[in-house]
Amino acid sequence: MNADFTAEELQFEIEVREFLQNDFPAEYREKVDAGIRLSKDELVHWQKILYKKGWAASNWPVEHGGTGWSATQKHIFATEMGLIGAPEPVPFGMKMVAPVLMAYGSDEQKQRFLPDILESNVWWCQGYSEPNSGSDLASLKTSAVRDGDEYVVNGSKTWNTYGQYADWIFCLVRTDTSVKKQEGISFMLIDMKTPGITLKPIVLLDGHAEVNEVFFDEVRVPANNLIGEENKGWTYAKVLLTHERTNISGVPRGKRRLAALKRLAGNTDDGFGGTMLENSAFKTKLAQVDIELQALEYSELRTLAALSVGKAPGPESSILKIVGTELAQEMDELFVDLAGYNCLPFVPEQFEDGFQGEAVGPGSSAAAALSYFNNRKLSIFGGSNEIQRNIISKAVLGL
Amino acid sequence: MDFSNTEEQQMLQESVQKFVYKSYDFDTRKQIIASEKGFSQENWDLFAELGWLTVPFKEDDGGFGGSAVDLAVMMEEFGKAMLVEPFIATAVLAGGVISEQGSAEQKAELLPKIMEGSLQLACAYAEQGSRFNLANIKTSAVVEGDTVILNGSKTAVLNGSNAEILLVAARESGAATDSEGISVFMVDASSAGVSIQSFANVDGKKSAEINLKDVSVPVAQRLGASGSALQALQDGVDRATLAVSAEAVGAMESLLHKTVEYSKTRKQFGTAIGTFQALQHRMADMFIECQLARSIVIMAAMKLDGGESALEKTKSVSAAKSRIGRAIQKVGQEAIQIHGGIGMTEELDVGHLFKSVTAAEIMFGNTDYHTQRFASL
């Protein structure tokens, strides 16, 4: 039993670290550290830098222009990216629709869509959830009715992240209402410029419109935009979900935030002549978070080691989602703790790119509550943590 | 990176499993606890024969040279079946202190006897006022010529009732919590002035309160140099902490397994209670706790074996014990709750597993202590 990387893996780690030190633009790094959101152009620019290096698609096979990395290499890459604060490629194209295309798309579809995803020329968004279909996703109602060479789509999707930037959307739509709910769903790609699509931004608790509701009104979609077979969409979507549960624990980002918490605590007055790093209640909470992060890291390494000897990612990885997200939320609570009064001012625009006014509060302290509010999403999305517990109790415990 | 067991670890694990399957069912364990010694000498002889008693010892000391991971693998199996034999007290803790602090002659005299199963030891370090602070020692050691006079009282002396030799930590100089001035003396348990109050702990393991009144010991019975024993005590207790944490991982595994199986057979309202989501999520949480507990014990074991600094090693042990302690409360309490009334009874093993992990939570420093220690290092 050992947690050591091989010599080749260590060499790879150095290569990744050096590349990120040199090529992740310093101005983006500063923004990330200051809690300022990167713009679409900046994110795309960074992804194109990764593309030039050949590292845009860490989870893709070589034949499609991916890195073909082992599970451990992917882990090392994600770790180094997280430690420096470099954003992962926007997942909707690279990590969500591309694997479905590779597995179930026609050759024509692969050639048409994959290169633009790889080069970050096309921005994708996701059309899964609906106003009345959340955790019970299979109950979705957006309909696609075949009409000659086209489907006519009607309905609405919600919690659509960054749809305002997107060129294309991949959707789960209902193509048969007469069968069991899982068996009448199809997987469809839709051009966002198609007439009949409208977007309504949804402002979240942090004041930012990160998500949208997307309405489809008699939207005509070419039939060759259907992936695989009609009514098999649920199977495709599910297969994807079970294969994308590595690197979801957020350990590297957690380490970065923990270091930030310690620095900040050392610079924050406790009001009684000491710093918050000496405050015993805060210190204990910080220690618990630190310890939990280590337990999570070794849980992830154990999963990774199992993957690297060829075992399939089991439902055990639901643990990583639950613990990782709950830990990230605890860290937000600690940032709120540290900020004290300074987390009260609600001035979200000061953390937008290009803000010119006078900032309120020291450093990014006023972002603490915004992040705390925003990160409540973590335990809700990607299969809520209750859904993950259902998965554990059924698939692992056999209940 | 490879988290699977090595061949040796696999063999150790299977060897313990085989023993438990053949000779350590729940009723047998009960009889052993009820016996006069509170452990089985026959089992102990077998442990020696199987080589288990050599696992914690370095090759230089004539041992197996087992790693901390080897030890953890073994202790996890001990924990699953709640073995009460004083493996940690004699081989890990006392043996560890002698190995760290003893002179070559002292080691040559004692360690082979431990490994061949002919010597029981106990490490008497804790006192009523010290809680978990190893440096807080009031028991006094006054040198008079060739002898040392010991006075004081010791608490929570694991295996204190069966030990032939007690390793008594006593202060030769300094104030009560100074790190300098602490020595460890090998005291014959039958010496004049030693009184031993013997009992079993909540986990069935034998323990004792020990009083020392003008106990006279030859100076030569001091382990190592005068006043220099704290580090060795700390290292021994750290290793014992890892061992008890690994035992708890095994016991929690049993608790989870038994609870899940029970929920599949116990019917209420016409259906197995395991079909209720309110209980399913609690068992899912128990599973998560068990996994995190195992992960952090593996981490601590790997760090003890690796090239980290002494500080990092100690920190990782405290991280593990702190996290394990939280898991213990959750898994132990939920197991009883989900079993309902039957879980409260003496006749079912689940309650005994709960008592075992509860003892583990406190042993060698409870959750709060180790959290604070982690934070302060």
Report CB contact under 8 Å: A296, B288: no
How many C-beta atoms lie closer than 10 Å to residue A290's C-beta?
Answer: 20
By CB atoms closer than 10 A (0-12, 13-18, 19+), residue B107 is: buried
All residues of chain B having their beta carbon less than 8 Å from the beta carbon of residue A287 are: 322, 371-372, 374-375
Choose among A72, A294, A399: nearest Cβ to B296: A294
Query: Whose structure tokens read 């290292």?
Result: B235
Report CB contact under 8 Å: A308, B69: no
Report CB contact under 8 Å: B322, A306: no
Q: How far is A285 from chain B (nearest CA, A)?
A: 9
Interface ipTM above 0.90: yes
Closest residue of chain B to A303, computed from CA coordinates? B3
A49 band by pLDDT with thresholds 50, 70 and 90? very high
Closest residue of chain B to A290, computed from CA coordinates? B319
Task: Write out the CATH class of domain B231-376.
Answer: mainly alpha
Report CB contact under 8 Å: A1, B284: no
Choose among B281, B293, B302: nearest Cβ to A3: B302
Report helix, strand or coil for B213: strand
Whole-number percent of chain A with pLDDT over 70: 98
Q: CA B15, B20, B26: angle at the middle one, nearest 5?
A: 170
B274: contact with A, CB 8 A cutoff = yes
B1: contact with A, CB 8 A cutoff = yes
Q: What is the average per-residue pLDDT within A107-112?
A: 97
Report CB contact under 8 Å: B372, A287: yes
pLDDT of residue A313: 67
Q: CA A240, A245, A247: angle at the middle one, nearest 5?
A: 130
All residues of chain A having their beta carbon less than 8 Å from the beta carbon of residue B322 are: 287-288, 291
Q: What are the boundaries of each domain within chain A?
A: 7-89, 124-231, 245-396
A198 band by pLDDT with thresholds 50, 70 and 90? very high
A10: contact with B, CB 8 A cutoff = no
User: CA A348, CA A367: separation in Å to the nearest integer?
Assistant: 8
A397: contact with B, CB 8 A cutoff = yes
Report CB contact under 8 Å: A399, B260: yes
Residue type, A267: N
Closest residue of chain A to B367, computed from CA coordinates? A288
Helix, strand, coil in percent for chain B, rounding step 5: 55, 15, 30
Among A114, A73, A67, A72, which Cα is nearest to A94's?
A114
Choose among A4, A290, A393: nearest Cβ to B284: A393
* Low-confidence residues in chain B, pLDDT < 50: none
A315 band by pLDDT with thresholds 50, 70 and 90? confident
Residues A86, A24 contacting (CB under 8 angstroms): yes
φ, ψ of residue B185 to 5 degrees: the values are: -115, 140
Report CB contact under 8 Å: B1, A306: no
Report CB contact under 8 Å: B375, A286: yes
Half-sphere exposure of A198 (CA within 13 A, CB side): 5
Q: What's the CATH architecture for A124-231?
A: Beta Barrel (2.40)
| Cβ partners under 8 Å of residue A262, min gap 6 | A277, A286
Q: How far is B300 from chain A (nearest CA, A)?
A: 10
| Cβ partners under 8 Å of residue A228, min gap 6 | A104, A105, A187, A236
By CB atoms closer than 10 A (0-12, 13-18, 19+), residue B170 is: buried
All residues of chain B having their beta carbon less than 8 Å from the beta carbon of residue A246 are: none
Among A230, A204, A212, which Cα is nearest to A169's?
A212
Q: Taking the CA atoms of chain A, what radius of gyration do you get in angstroms?
A: 22
Q: Is the pLDDT of residue A310 over 80?
A: no
Interface residue of A251, A297, A393, A394 to substitute, partner B, most B CBs within 10 Å = A393
All residues of chain A having their beta carbon less than 8 Å from the beta carbon of residue B284 are: 388-390, 392-393, 396-397
Q: How far is A81 from chain B (nearest CA, A)?
A: 20
User: CA A121, CA A40: separation in Å to the nearest integer?
Assistant: 12
Domain A245-396 has CATH 3.10.450.50: no
Q: What's the CATH architecture for B122-227?
A: Beta Barrel (2.40)
Report helix, strand or coil for A116: helix
For all residues of chain A together, what is the average pLDDT?
93
pLDDT digits (tens, 9 = 90+) for B188-231: 999 999 999 999 999 999 999 999 999 999 999 999 999 999 99
Q: Is the pLDDT of residue A4 over 80?
A: yes
Domain B7-120 falls in which CATH fold?
Butyryl-Coa Dehydrogenase, subunit A; domain 1 (1.10.540)
By CB atoms closer than 10 A (0-12, 13-18, 19+), residue A348 is: buried
> Per the structure block, which two tokens stand in for B365?
């420093």
Instruction: Specify the DSSP class assigned to residue B56.
Output: T
pLDDT digits (tens, 9 = 90+) for A381-398: 888 999 999 999 999 999
Query: Whose structure tokens read 């006069």?
Result: B36
A247 band by pLDDT with thresholds 50, 70 and 90? low
Interface residue of B242, B289, B291 to substitute, partner A, most A CBs within 10 Å = B291
CB within 8 Å of chain A, chain B residues 192-251: none
By CB atoms closer than 10 A (0-12, 13-18, 19+), residue A388 is: buried
Paired with B207 in beta bridges are B199
Instruction: Specify the DSSP class assigned to residue A271.
Output: S
Counting every residue, how long is chain B? 377
- A169-to-A92, A152, A158, A162, A377 alpha-carbon distances in Å: 9, 15, 12, 11, 21
- Direct distance between the N- and C-terminal alpha carbons of chain A, in angstroms, rounded to an integer: 31
Q: What is the average per-residue pLDDT within A259-269?
A: 95
pLDDT digits (tens, 9 = 90+) for A326-355: 999 999 999 999 999 999 999 998 888 788
Question: What stretch(es) of chain B map to CATH 1.10.540.10?
Answer: 7-120
User: CA A275, CA A267: separation in Å to the nearest integer?
Assistant: 7
Choose among B288, B319, B375: nearest Cβ to A294: B319
B297: contact with A, CB 8 A cutoff = no
Q: Is the pLDDT of residue A317 over 90?
A: no
pLDDT of residue A36: 86
Question: What stretch(es) of chain B map to CATH 2.40.110.10?
Answer: 122-227
How many C-beta atoms lie closer than 10 Å to residue B72's C-beta?
Answer: 28
Q: How far is A334 from chain B (nearest CA, A)?
A: 15
pLDDT of residue B55: 97
Residues B225, B55 contacting (CB under 8 angstroms): no
Choose among B274, B288, B375: nearest Cβ to A323: B288
User: CA B268, CA A338: separation in Å to the nearest integer?
Assistant: 48
Question: What stretch(es) of chain B map to CATH 1.20.140.10?
Answer: 231-376
Run of H or E including B150: strand B147-154
User: CA A119, CA A5: separation in Å to the nearest integer?
Assistant: 31
A242 band by pLDDT with thresholds 50, 70 and 90? low
Among A195, A153, A189, which Cα is nearest to A174's?
A153
Report helix, strand or coil for B149: strand
